[in-house]
Amino acid sequence: MSQSPLFSVSNERLSTIVVGLEPNERDTVLAVCGSGDQAFALSEYAPRVVAVDINPEQIRLAKQRAEYLKVENYGDFLKTNEENISRYATERTGKPYFTIERLERIRSRIEGIHFRVGNITELADTNYTKVYLSNCFHYQDPNQDQDTRDNFFTNLEKLNLLTNALSQGVLVYHCSRFAASSLDLLISYGDYDTEKISLILDRNRTVLAEREEVDDNLYPWYPRVYVVGHNTVKTPTQRSLTQSRGGWSLGRLLKALHRSPK
């Protein structure tokens, strides 16, 4: 059964993502696709962006929008299928993110955006310098059967797969609707249990992203920016992260439950 696009517009603030990841001319970015808004925003600064989505219809939509950009059809590029939702709804500043000047710059770099159908956690490699994950470790596809949705330990395996494929120093952006991020919990559990997960919170970049997000925003996302560390010994930053918001104790509890006799 074919799926229709779930998102024709980003529900995240694009400027927050750009501030958090700070893409530049040296970057190759791996990004969750969705509507394509985030990938287009990142491509203004990074010469190569690979946008990935498990829903082929999201990729089809993003590719079509890229074609609109190529021929300067900005009206159709900005059009959204979601009733009562503006392309700029999540910017919350009264000003559009995709100005004509910005669209011209993105259009001039459009050949650097590539689209792939697949699971982003399985497509990471050492070529990427920055990764945008949206809220992929929290989001559940409403079209997916409840029994086949990812559980905590499946997500833990996927996070291990992702981080082990990336090079040291890569920045990873993830967001959540909750202050205690689901990715924080995965990191704290994985770090305590296996020491395979090697994401360290970049507090400076996270603070900058948080400040950008909460400006005049009544319903903010909670952005987190991490650095891939590839070390097997906990650093003070990792220890403070896993001990914050009850993550360490909850990780121990989940570990005990997972290993308890059936």
Reduced to 3 states, what is the DSSP secondary structure of residue 221?
A: coil
- The beta-strand segments (E) located in the chain are 28-32, 48-53, 113-117, 130-132, 171-176, 199-201, 222-228
Question: For position 147, what pLDDT does the model report?
Answer: 47
Distances (CA, A) of 96 to 29, 46, 71, 107: 24, 21, 21, 17
Distances (CA, A) of 138 to 39, 135, 151, 227: 20, 5, 10, 19
Mean predicted confidence (pLDDT) in 42-67:
96
Q: Which of 225, 200, 226 is nearest to 212 (CA)?
A: 225
Q: The domain 14-178+199-229 is classified under which CATH number: 3.20.10.10, 2.60.40.1180, 3.40.50.300, 3.40.50.150?
A: 3.40.50.150
Distances (CA, A) of 131 to 90, 172, 197: 21, 5, 15
Reduced to 3 states, what is the DSSP secondary structure of residue 227?
A: strand
Distances (CA, A) of 147 to 1, 4, 25, 70, 120: 18, 21, 43, 42, 21
Six-digit token string for 57: 């219809």
The CA distance from 35 to 10, in Å, is 6
Give pLDDT tens digits for 114-154.
999 999 999 999 999 999 999 888 655 444 444 444 566 78
CB 135, CB 177: distance < 8 Å: yes
The total number of residues shown for the chain amounts to: 262
The CA distance from 57 to 61, in Å, is 6
Mean predicted confidence (pLDDT) in 46-51:
98
pTM, to two decimals? 0.79
DSSP 153: H
Question: For position 214, what pLDDT does the model report?
Answer: 75
Give pLDDT tens digits for 160-219.
889 889 999 999 999 987 765 667 777 766 554 444 568 899 999 999 999 988 765 566
Give pLDDT tens digits for 227-261.
998 644 443 333 333 343 333 334 443 444 444 44
